[in-house]
Structure 1
């Protein structure tokens, strides 16, 4: 009489396959989570760089406006700088009389904003800076 082949294997048939599938699924989930984390970190880094660029574009607008205001030229304008829409506005106040110093300076208020992409876009960044300069007449 021959031994029964099912009896020799015991009740362990197929358990290795279930364990291997479990390990594969867990490893695949970990790889997917790491890929998603990497993508999020890249997007955050890109936005931080764009925000820094927007700040520098607004700062360039302020410096341009200060130069124009001190030269006695119009300093309200809009222009494009490396993909950023920069808007500069300036308001000249009334002259302030300083009799003890013998002069009448004016204060020029400047505001520059830099914007990349349209509001609601995932790439949208916006920065606004303001400054006040004293101009002698």
Structure 2
């Protein structure tokens, strides 16, 4: 009778240990999966920031290219005009080629002491994936660029 009890006890202990070890294994697997997902999101977030920064640099170039094509003393006739709708940049390469970047621009001009100061507000939004997927990320950056003219379409300050 004692041997039957001992076998019953050891069987219960074995089942208990098996349940505990399988629960521990499941917990470790879910922890590993969460860590991997978090690491992937962190990497995608960094890439989205770099893609948005690329949009700011592209927008700044669009504004400053007309400024730099005219000497300071030449008549300035090609002041940049912000497009009415956001521009999508689809030519990113390398690790950013799957990102969608939209760049929008707004400008205001103010006279100041005989000069015309134009302030451009650039907003760049980079996205990857589609919401609400687990791999969806979005970053938005804004920047201001100023230009100065003696008159609206004249020599630089």
TM over 0.5: yes
Runs of 4+ aligned structure 1 residues displaced above 6 Å come to: none
In structure 2, do the counterparts of structure 1 residues 10 and 66 end up closer, same or farther at CA, with 3 Å as the change threshold? closer
Ranges in structure 1 where 5+ consecutive residues have no aligned partner: 1-5
In the alignment, which of 89, 99, 115 is matched to residue 127 of structure 2? 115
Q: Which residue of 2 aligns with 1:78?
A: 88
Give the 3 Å change call, closer, same or farther, for CA 74–121 of structure 1 in structure 2.
farther
Take 1:127 and 1:10, find their aligned partners in 2: how far apart are those partners? 67
Shift of 1:10: 6.4
Is the Cα contact below 8 Å between 1:68 and 1:74 reproduced in 2?
no
Q: 1:28 to 1:11 in 2, by over 3 A?
A: closer
Structure of higher CA gyration radius = 1
Structure with the larger RCO, 1 or 2 (CA within 8 Å, 6+ apart):
2
Matches within 5 A, 1:5-84: 6=1, 9=3, 11-72=5-66, 77-80=87-90, 81=92, 82-84=97-99
TM-score when scaled to structure 1?
0.83
RMSD between aligned alpha carbons? 1.9
- Equivalent pairs, count: 128
